[in-house]
Amino acid sequence: MDMKVLLVYFSLGGRTKQVAERIAEGINFPDVTIESFEYTKKSRELIPEQDEIMKGDLSNFKYNESIKDLAPYDLIFYGFPTHGGRPATVFNGYMKDAQNLDGKNFVVFNTCRMFPGKTLEIMQTEIERKGGSIVNKRVFKGFFRIKMSKVENFIEELNQELMKLN
């Protein structure tokens, strides 16, 4: 049976989007759905709003509500930028309402300029708290740009490893 794969990302400046799109395209699964959160206000509004977002208020984001239910998927990718040493708060806001992570496999990645801090640990903790398992994770770091060769290496590694899940 072919696995159903979901990749969800958030990108303010386009770097995480570029990585996410490449991963979705590069992994050897025929059924990959890619979804994203779009912030509908000016970027500078995001930080003042972060307490509300953390609590689950995603009213200033445009996204497909169906991504809150992970039941249809076998493997889920989450890609978020690092904001202040942690994932962009939309990740936590989303996790508040996300359902049916139990028993699912996850791959998490983040992009940052220099210091990822606890970004992936926080993502992993939230996912595991809801019963999901992390099968792989990766930090993509680059001050000026993310090296796409690093992304290609990750895709290759995933393709070898994830075949075993299929």
Ligand X SMILES: Cc1cc2nc3c(=O)[nH]c(=O)nc-3n(C[C@H](O)[C@H](O)[C@H](O)COP(=O)(O)O)c2cc1C
Binding residues for ligand X, rule: CB under 6 A, are 11-17, 47, 81-85, 111-115, 117
Bridge partners (DSSP) of residue 82 are 87
CB of 122 to ligand X, least distance (A): 12
**Three-state secondary-structure class, residue 17:** helix
Using the minimum distance from each CB to ligand X, give the nearer residue, 19 or 162. Answer: 19
On whether the CB atoms of residues 37 and 90 are closer than 8 A, the answer is: yes
CB of 19 to ligand X, least distance (A): 8
CB of 40 to ligand X, least distance (A): 15
Using the minimum distance from each CB to ligand X, give the nearer residue, 45 or 97. Answer: 45
Bridge partners (DSSP) of residue 130 are none
Q: Per-residue b/e over 4-29, b at no fewer than 16 CB within 10 Å?
A: ebbbbbbbbeebbbbbbbbbbeebeb
On whether the CB atoms of residues 77 and 108 are closer than 8 A, the answer is: yes
Nearest-CB residue for ligand X: 13
Using the minimum distance from each CB to ligand X, give the nearer residue, 30 or 48. Answer: 48
Using the minimum distance from each CB to ligand X, give the nearer residue, 89 or 105. Answer: 89
Q: How many CA atoms lie within 13 A of 132 on its CB side?
A: 27
CB of 79 to ligand X, least distance (A): 8
CA max distance for the chain: 46
